Chain A
């Protein structure tokens, strides 16, 4: 018997970070079905460091749409033959998971009831859920079809906004357990959440150390710098380091989309450290 867990949430809400963190800490044999890789992929370091993780990617539409549902069901049927205990499904940002259990029963009919659906966790981006959910009905369905609602990036909005958000989420899904987190960090989540165990008491703990990543940019001109900032702001909340801009060495500090550049005298290797990876 294999357990299936679903992770949903709009783009940038932190699904991949959550799954990366889950994989890092999970010691059983696991497969991940990723419905469309985003800007941030499943961390290849994690995959390479462990032999028991398998990744299956499904592109070109939501796995819950009738045009991709088959590929999802087929992937489950194929994975039923593998020696794995757990499957984590990372849905695409606009996935409407209302029919997940139907798809699993369809797959089960073809693989001797190999699967048991354990539950669903939805990452809710504190910054934009209230705004986006009025225009994108799939986001509401994600909330309605979840056991856990993880409000992520709650440090980026004021308390009033969080209160409104919690009220809205409770209204849409009174049964779900709501947990808040900050900086997209999941290391200190209660273990039943980060290990995706169903039904557990709520614990709201602050996150510990940030994840980091180092990049080495080529010499930049203004246009390339703008592009780089754009990319970095999508990947990290904070970044700092040294770059060469129009032939001159600069110290660079990025917080969100705010940029500070200062001249420096010493020679430093061009490198930027991304902090608080999203």
Chain B
């Protein structure tokens, strides 16, 4: 089953072999190629290059092409403040002083949409087995971009205006949906972080009809939908389900195990919620594997389920942590054993390391999660084997898979912290990011 098929089945609530893996590679993808957030959010070729690298390393079942909730706002007249390692922020609100309703329509020529569509075209062939998510700004968040923070007072003082504003931003969201579906996106994700800020009563009063209309529209256009929320929206999960999206994605502020009981009642798929900062950014590979295995263990019903970061990943999230998440979803049992062994191995296995200082020829050691099952590890080992073909007897090459206890002991003794990685003569050369043949050759030549 391809990733695209798995995502489609989950969105349609059909039985699947395992949860789908959806890494939200927002601006983080740029970090893999050394591009800033602004570069990947404005330049199709840099975004494409970054996404292809992310796709190669993380082997997702589904992934977004661009994660920027300010695309629509920029078209509608909001000014943006760009950042090096984060999406831009809105600094001006066109309706902040006058309660007006804009008359601007969004077309496929508007703002940065041509750049998004060009990137989608570039990816269609390269990531043909992966479900490509089109991210659109949710109508409530877009309304706040237009009106500013007065929107919360308007909910009390001028509810009619809020309804007019929501009707307009929903129209814009439907225009975005149509453009993205016509261009070939597989899933339309409506991302509305502000939904977590209001009570469920206000959700029903001001948002329910508009979200229902939008998800109906996506369904009528034969594509599945995602409703993404960030922050503690626990109280709103049920009312969100009632707007009938195919799926709801949430972050670490929501207890996904409890939320899934509600989403299952409405037969809505659920996705999330690996903590972005404490686990993905600052945690180790073991932390990430442990979180995912723990989450899967706690979820009784593993149908209707996506595993993903809680939101778009921080720019500097270590690639090895994301690789580890994928491994934990796809190879849950062996990862469970790795975690147990990692904890237990201190009691006793002795390994002898080579005498690195006195080797007769370079020793290339590839440490992997398991090159048979982890795609990034396969590429890393492949790079080593390609070098072996070139150098023949002039070098030695070994793979150490973490699935074996003795290799965990070795990894600890060498001081390896991230997998996959390449050491030459006991010295770290490449970690997580796969070297090109030229880069590996230069590294090996230093030891000949």
Contacts and interface: CB of A to CB of B under 8 A. Distances in A.
Contacts of A202: none
A66 B87 contact: no
Nearest to A65: B231
Interface stretch (A131-139, A166-174, A179-187, A270-278): A131-139
Interface in B349-401: none
Contacts of A230: 97
B277 A106 contact: yes
A119 interface: no
Contacts of A132: 152-153, 156
Interface string B92-120: 00000110000000000000000000000
A135 B231 CA distance: 15
Q: Is the interface of B mostly helix, strand, loop or mixed?
A: loop
A82 interface: no
B197 A106 contact: no
Size class of the A contact interface (CB-based, 8 Å): 20 to 34
B201 A65 contact: no
Contacts of A38: 149
Contacts of A66: 230, 251-253, 275-277, 310-311
Contacts of A67: 193, 230, 251, 276, 311-312
Q: Is the interface of A mostly helix, strand, loop or mixed?
A: loop
B392 to A, nearest CB: 46
Interface residues of B, number: 39
Given A59-B81, A60-B86, A66-B275, A131 B235 contact: no
A136 B194 CA distance: 11
Contact of B277 (A10, A59, A60, A70): A70
Residue of A66, A70, A93 ringed by the most chain B CB atoms within 10 A: A66
B197 A94 contact: yes
Contacts of A70: 276-277, 281, 314
Contacts of A138: 197
B340 interface: no
Given A66-B230, A138-B197, A59 B97 contact: no
B84 to A, nearest CB: 11
Contacts of A255: none
A135 B97 contact: no
Contacts of B428: none
Interface string A191-230: 0000000000000000000000000000000000001001
Nearest to A61: B193
Given A135-B152, A135-B202, A96 B231 contact: yes
Contact of B278 (A59, A65, A106): A106
A106 B281 CA distance: 12
Given A66-B252, A66-B311, A96-B231, A134 B97 contact: no
Interface string B214-239: 00000000000000001110010000
Interface string B183-201: 0000000000100011101
A221 to B, nearest CB: 14
Nearest to B199: A135
A137 B199 contact: yes
B312 A136 contact: no
Contacts of A231: 97
Contacts of B149: 11, 38, 93-94
Nearest to B80: A60
Interface in A44-80: 59-62, 65-67, 69-71, 73
Contacts of B89: 59-61
B91 A59 contact: yes
B435 interface: no
Nearest to A37: B91
B259 interface: no
B447 interface: no
A152 to B, nearest CB: 16
Contacts of B311: 66-67
Nearest to A138: B197
Given A66-B276, A106-B278, A138-B197, A60 B87 contact: yes
A135 B203 CA distance: 9
Contact of B230 (A65, A135, A227): A65
A25 interface: no
A67 B85 CA distance: 12
A161 interface: no
B426 interface: no
Given A70-B314, A134-B201, A136-B152, 19 more contacts: A38-B149, A60-B88, A62-B231, A66-B252, A66-B311, A67-B311, A70-B277, A93-B149, A94-B152, A106-B278, A128-B156, A131-B156, A132-B152, A135-B156, A135-B199, A136-B197, A137-B199, A137-B232, A227-B97
16 contacts: A10-B152, A11-B152, A59-B89, A59-B91, A60-B87, A60-B89, A60-B90, A62-B231, A66-B251, A66-B252, A69-B277, A70-B314, A94-B152, A96-B232, A132-B153, A136-B197
Interface of A: 10-11, 38, 59-62, 65-67, 69-71, 73, 93-94, 96, 106, 128, 131-132, 134-138, 227, 230-231
The 7 closest A-B pairs by CB, nearest first: A60-B89, A59-B89, A135-B202, A11-B149, A66-B276, A70-B277, A67-B311
